[in-house]
Structure 1
Amino acid sequence: MYEKIDKMKYSPMMRQYLTIKEQYPDMIIFFRLGDFYEMFFNDAIIASKELEIVLTGKDAGTEERVPMCGVPYHSVSSYLDILTSKGYKVGIVEQVEDPKSAKGIVKRELVRIITPGTVIDPTSLDASENNYLLSISQDKERYILSYIDLSTGEGFLTNIPLEDTLLHGEVLKLKAREVVVNSSFNKQIFSKLENIISLTISIEDNENLSSYFKNLLINLDEEERKNYSRLLNYITRTQMRQLVHLQKVVKYDINSYLKIDLSSRRNLELLETLRFQNKKNTLLSVLDKCVTAMGSRYLKKTIMFPFIEEDKIVRRYNIIEKMKKSFLDTNDLREYLSEIYDLERIVGRIAYENANPKDLLQLKKSLSFIPKIRQCINKIDISQFFDLYTDFNKYKELYSLIDSSISSDAPFAVKDGGVIKDGFNKELDELREINLHGKDYIINLEAKERDRTGIKQLKVGFNKVFGYYIEVSKSNIPLIKDEYGYIRKQTLANAERYITQELKEKETLILRAEEKTLELETKLFNEIRNKCKDYTNILQTLAKVLSELDMMQSFTKVSNENKYVRPNLNNDHILKIKEGRHPVLDLYEDFIPNDIEMTEDRVLLITGPNMSGKSTYMRQIALISILAQMGCFVPAKSANLPIFDQIFTRIGAADDIVSGQSTFMVEMIEVNNALENATENSLILFDEIGRGTATFDGMALAQSIIEYVHNEIKCKTLFSTHYHELTALEQDLKYLKNVHVSAEEIKGEIIFLHKVKLGAVDKSYGINVAKLANLPLDVVLRASDLLNKLQNNNDFDHKKLSPYNYVAPLVYDSKTEIEIDILNELKSLNFYEMSPIDALNKLNEIQGKLKK
């Protein structure tokens, strides 16, 4: 579009804009003009709509005004956040020369491109979340996935089997907003994802990496190197600077961690709830007692990637054990950690050269607490796990640099002055002295001129247009004598403003000193910030240590407050939990704990009424296992656990609206995923498999699946069902055990005990639950009639079940057995023999029974 515009028709400024826009047609250009970033032509139309700002026009040398809108430069972050969250890319065009020295139009250049995956502004980022930019490529039998968080400099790479669903799961797990691919990549792979999340697809074909970055690529094969090189080249092209904070890529094998697929992460509500997609009432919300943003991000990564290596898990158990024993020192540690700022992102801003004085002061304050934290970990006896010794002198060195140079009350912006400490730079001190004496001169000048002229209302003032001046009211103008040397400068309605030769000379001296002071302060601050870059690596190492330390104190706090215990790990496939609890529900209600014991057993067949807690029981076993493999204590009286390699769940019912698949089809796909990929060391949770189709079909599938898991996969499996006929499998399958979630029927009302017991049940209490849900009485009566006929005949007799053979009761006592008992109790009471207070107490007791 823009290349077809005749630029010569427009003003020089608009020609400058169009020249830049031609080079970057796929992004919205924020063009700096004074105190605003302005957008023109189609960019303005799009931005005004998305940002909900006024669309206006600008005279640009043609008859028609050019569409225009703009945003203030000081609040640009919020507008950039809106556009990038909607998938737009934004090019920032700044003035790159001083307007005072410019000949003709001020030179402007594109200085940075902001995309959804390259946002680093702290006001636009969630402190507890990483913002990953992904790179994906396809090789013969694998997808290569790499990703970098530009705000922290972390980089990772892994290989994924050539299955789209696995790739989609990883992209969703990382909450990616932007993916970089080469131009030949099949972008249709992302079509399903784009219906779920806002995903920007960016193209980068350059695989030639500058020598500056080559030390970041270690232990990568040729295709992996190409993938990561494209990612780094895209970052370089959009950020237009060298980023010293980018860390060496960490290559990991997804098989080195407990694998939890997408549906299982959702079903278990690890990071967000199924219903509201928020963090409240998730495993993350229970565990996140971190006091630093770095710790919260580290915790989230730990939930997504639990260990499968016993030594790494036990290491964390040992840390928690020691922290629990030294709880006072651990409380002190928590307090000191709360004073630590987000070092990872401060380092990122230093690398971007947009760190401000407050960032350096936050860095200094954080470093000041390292000696106290080191002292704490010594007392707790965990210094062997957290190295704060190797670079300790470097921390002190950096602290001294900032402490000696940056004023403790430095403003947010360098341009406001007062950033550099007195005594740090001799030239700056001299300029400040000139400023100080110059301003003292101005203050004294007013008193001196009043005495000299006898004009008591005389004032000395300043404005940016006219500089310093002496103001005399109209009534006092006759008192001005030629000998005073006053030169008229400005006439106002009620006063005249003058200058003197002496004042003019002092003004020049003061203003030049102020300008030089600001220039020198800016230069000195930039030099100090650049020196801080030299400490990038040690600060990133420090951040990692503090992140895990914060997470471990969080684990300890949660374990203490919620009475978690240290699990034992075994290699004998034994799953034994005594009084296990659901970590989330345990906080919000009087939770009834339950046991599980699977030694040689492979399949636990769970029966029981609806709403009795079967799904909760299954979820809590999985959550306890995940907690254990994260290295955290678990909610139980005792736990002896195997180390699982994968967890598969099919819990609840949900259509896949995106792909148009029914509940039953989604169920079968998820079951197949488990059957295809589970190993003997996996954990499978299947909740009421087969309920989405005809009864006999569903029962047949359920039994076949149980047999396959039992005989072929041989992994620990929890299988809940309402097909009570399946409980007979206990007689045929050696390693299957029946358990049930108990309930009692008292006077026609069902009471859920939520206790898991050995053996099976032969009743689901479905009609009782329907009554609890207040279904219409006619529906409940008809259902009871049909149930009786089905149970008495053991087959489907159409004639007997026909509505024509149903006669609704003409008289039906709709009162429950409890209500009948209460009526009988009321009849038996003699109110004449009761005191008023006894009668009220009895009434309250009866009301309580009815409310149950």
Structure 2
Amino acid sequence: MSIKQNPADTHTPMMQQYLRIKAAHPDTLLFYRMGDFYELFFADAQKAAQILDITLTSRGQSGGMPIPMAGIPYHAAEGYLAKLLRNGESVAICEQIGDPATSKGPVERKVVRIVTPGTVTDEALLEERKDNLLLAVHAHNDTHGLASLDLTSGRFVLQQVDSLDQLLSELGRLNPAELLFSEDWPLPAAIQQRSGLCRRPPWHFDPESAKQRVLQQFNTLDLQGFGCTHLPIAIAAAGALLLYVKDTQQSALPHIQGIRTEHSSDAIMLDAASRRNLELDYHPSGHLQYTLFGVLDKTATAMGSRCLQRWLNRPLRTTALLNDRYACVASLLAAQLFKDVSSQLRQVGDIERISSRIALKTARPRDLLVLRNTLAVLPQLQQVLAANDNPQLTTLSQHIGEQPTLLALLQRALI
């Protein structure tokens, strides 16, 4: 849509309002609330109609031509949103905030949130057992800095790779829902066909200002404690990512409390062909049960399933960490302890994502109900894990902790 070709004074007041709001979100589909529907106009309507398989109609005229229009019911918006996000589209939700009874002219409207493939946190729009990653990439000569964030958990990871081949391998492993990159970066041909691509202004990746945004996020004077000072290109990507997330969420990000670093020397880096041939979590038939992940995933929680998928996609080289994992498994098997642990875990909700929604102030009553039920299970889970001689599991049981005050509050507040 070209607003310059559609002068505002040739449109109705309502369409003038739409064009003003749309001008602020040119690269995003605009859901414009009209009564019980979200309406889309011009190119947005044409794109949405094609993706969602909904009827394309028209409303009024622009330059003597009918204005394309498509609409979806407000009460069914989540299903349509999910499909658009899966196709890599971002959506700005524009709500009526004025009172139609007292408004002179069009009802006042404003964009109240922006939903993008990599920043969505609503339970209904997410795959329960799959990470939903936002990835920012910044290139400097042959070095590529990567910053990945799972907004639904607050997991924030930085790394640098030394070639385009390594970058492509990491993109295959992480499989981000959305990829941020600078407008002045010549996008490699192998990446151009990905969905969820999002160009950002070059100044977002400026090393010094990006670093300051990272420091501000963690309220610290330096990044020594995070062990990432040797990753300046990744820090530039991290700063751009944080700016994007704050812009889309229109809120602080209190649940992002730290940075993890990953190094290629710590794990086996698999190229696309190897990953495809190993069928780790993808099968040509599209059936997950035929993959290695599908065979091994007997986890009791969605959090465990996502963790298993991360582990399978990043095989460790570090012997000490591998031995620690083996020792934990052996301890759980030795006394059939895993049966008790599994029984307790099946009562645990997805507190990783629930706590993030609470931090972002988007939690719903059902989230609090699940949190309450999970907190009630923690003492028993703690006791089961403590009943073994494995130091890692014993430490884990100590870290679980109990939350009696919070549990009591939720029990009083929720019926």
Deviations 1:695-753 (A, max 9, x none): xxxxxxxxxxxxxxxxxxxxxxxxxxxxxxxxxxxxxxxxxxxxxxxxxxxxxxxxxxx
Equivalent of 2:235 in 225, 236, 244: 225
Question: Match of 1:89?
Answer: 90
Residues 40 and 67, structure 1, Cα contact 8 Å, conserved in 2? yes
**Hey, what's the Cα distance between the residues in 1 that align with 2:121 and 2:94?**
18
Deviations 1:193-246 (A, max 9, x none): 344x43423224324344641448633334332221011111112222222222
Matched, 1:346 2:349: no
Matches within 5 A, 1:296-445: 296-327=305-336, 329-382=337-390, 384-385=392-393, 386-390=395-399, 392-393=401-402, 395-407=403-415
Equivalent of 1:292 in 301, 304, 319: 301
Counterpart of 1:169, as a letter, is S
**Hey, what's the Cα distance between the residues in 2 that align with 1:105 and 1:154?**
43
Matched, 1:271 2:271: no
* Structure 1 position 98, deviation (Å): 4.8
**Hey, what's the Cα distance between the residues in 1 that align with 2:367 and 2:254?**
17
The secondary structure found in structure 2 opposite 1:31 is strand
Residues 147 and 158, structure 2, Cα contact 8 Å, conserved in 1? yes
* Structure 1 position 141, deviation (Å): 4.2
Question: Match of 1:213?
Answer: 217
Normalising by structure 2, we get a TM-score of 0.88
Matched, 1:80 2:78: no
* Structure 1 position 59, deviation (Å): 4.7
Normalising by structure 1, we get a TM-score of 0.45
The secondary structure found in structure 2 opposite 1:259 is coil
Q: Call closer, same or farther: CA 1:269–1:391 in 2, change over 3 Å.
A: closer
Question: Match of 2:190?
Answer: 192
Residues 121 and 152, structure 2, Cα contact 8 Å, conserved in 1? yes
The secondary structure found in structure 2 opposite 1:37 is strand
Q: Give 5+ residue unaligned stretches, structure 2.
A: none
Counterpart of 1:202, as a letter, is R
**Hey, what's the Cα distance between the residues in 2 that align with 1:76 and 1:378?**
46
Matched, 1:160 2:161: yes
Counterpart of 1:280, as a letter, is Q
Matches within 5 A, 1:703-742: none
The secondary structure found in structure 2 opposite 1:389 is helix
* Structure 1 position 114, deviation (Å): 2.1
Deviations 1:759-786 (A, max 9, x none): xxxxxxxxxxxxxxxxxxxxxxxxxxxx
Equivalent of 1:241 in 247, 251, 264: 251
**Hey, what's the Cα distance between the residues in 2 that align with 1:60 and 1:5?**
10
**Hey, what's the Cα distance between the residues in 1 that align with 2:400 and 2:406?**
11
- How many residue pairs end up in the alignment? 400
Greater shift, 69-78 or 358-367, is seen at: 69-78
* Structure 1 position 38, deviation (Å): 0.8
Residues 85 and 116, structure 1, Cα contact 8 Å, conserved in 2? yes
Q: Call closer, same or farther: CA 1:390–1:152 in 2, change over 3 Å.
A: closer
Deviations 1:161-208 (A, max 9, x none): 12x222111111111232111222111x1x22344x434232243243
**Hey, what's the Cα distance between the residues in 1 that align with 2:343 and 2:16?**
57
Question: Match of 2:199?
Answer: 202
Q: Call closer, same or farther: CA 1:397–1:103 in 2, change over 3 Å.
A: farther
* Structure 1 position 102, deviation (Å): 5.0
**Hey, what's the Cα distance between the residues in 1 that align with 2:48 and 2:268?**
44
The secondary structure found in structure 1 opposite 2:31 is strand
**Hey, what's the Cα distance between the residues in 2 that align with 1:246 and 1:107?**
34
Matched, 1:175 2:184: no
Residues 385 and 397, structure 2, Cα contact 8 Å, conserved in 1? no
Residues 148 and 154, structure 1, Cα contact 8 Å, conserved in 2? yes
Deviations 1:311-369 (A, max 9, x none): 22222222222211221x42121111011111111122223322110110001111111
* Structure 1 position 99, deviation (Å): 4.6
Residues 2 and 21, structure 1, Cα contact 8 Å, conserved in 2? no
**Hey, what's the Cα distance between the residues in 2 that align with 1:115 and 1:399?**
33
The secondary structure found in structure 1 opposite 2:252 is coil
**Hey, what's the Cα distance between the residues in 1 that align with 2:64 and 2:170?**
53
Question: Percent of aligned positions with the same letter in both sequences?
Answer: 31
Counterpart of 2:118, as a letter, is G
Equivalent of 2:270 in 241, 260, 266: 260
* Structure 1 position 298, deviation (Å): 0.4
* Structure 1 position 61, deviation (Å): 10
Question: Match of 2:117?
Answer: 116
Counterpart of 1:372, as a letter, is Q
The secondary structure found in structure 1 opposite 2:237 is helix
Counterpart of 1:339, as a letter, is Q
Residues 116 and 178, structure 1, Cα contact 8 Å, conserved in 2? yes
* Structure 1 position 148, deviation (Å): 0.7
Residues 137 and 147, structure 2, Cα contact 8 Å, conserved in 1? yes
Matches within 5 A, 1:11-22: 11-22=12-23
Question: Match of 1:27?
Answer: 28
Deviations 1:112-132 (A, max 9, x none): 222222232322322111111
**Hey, what's the Cα distance between the residues in 2 that align with 1:64 and 1:268?**
54
Residues 354 and 367, structure 2, Cα contact 8 Å, conserved in 1? yes
Question: Match of 1:850?
Answer: none
**Hey, what's the Cα distance between the residues in 1 that align with 2:67 and 2:138?**
42
Residues 155 and 246, structure 1, Cα contact 8 Å, conserved in 2? yes
Residues 39 and 70, structure 1, Cα contact 8 Å, conserved in 2? yes
Residues 2 and 22, structure 1, Cα contact 8 Å, conserved in 2? yes
* Structure 1 position 65, deviation (Å): 5.3
**Hey, what's the Cα distance between the residues in 2 that align with 1:219 and 1:97?**
49
**Hey, what's the Cα distance between the residues in 2 that align with 1:90 and 1:103?**
28
Counterpart of 1:192, as a letter, is A
Residues 328 and 392, structure 2, Cα contact 8 Å, conserved in 1? no
**Hey, what's the Cα distance between the residues in 2 that align with 1:321 and 1:231?**
40
The secondary structure found in structure 1 opposite 2:117 is coil
Residues 218 and 257, structure 2, Cα contact 8 Å, conserved in 1? no
Higher relative contact order (CA 8 A, sep 6+): 2
**Hey, what's the Cα distance between the residues in 2 that align with 1:277 and 1:383?**
40
The secondary structure found in structure 2 opposite 1:316 is helix
Q: Call closer, same or farther: CA 1:57–1:212 in 2, change over 3 Å.
A: same
Residues 144 and 233, structure 2, Cα contact 8 Å, conserved in 1? no
Counterpart of 1:259, as a letter, is M
**Hey, what's the Cα distance between the residues in 2 that align with 1:47 and 1:74?**
17
Deviations 1:788-843 (A, max 9, x none): xxxxxxxxxxxxxxxxxxxxxxxxxxxxxxxxxxxxxxxxxxxxxxxxxxxxxxxx
The secondary structure found in structure 2 opposite 1:118 is coil
Q: Call closer, same or farther: CA 1:380–1:62 in 2, change over 3 Å.
A: same
- The structure that has the greater radius of gyration is 1
* Structure 1 position 60, deviation (Å): 7.9
Residues 347 and 374, structure 2, Cα contact 8 Å, conserved in 1? yes
**Hey, what's the Cα distance between the residues in 1 that align with 2:351 and 2:298?**
19
* Structure 1 position 285, deviation (Å): 1.9
Report the aligned-residue RMSD.
2.4
**Hey, what's the Cα distance between the residues in 2 that align with 1:214 and 1:134?**
19
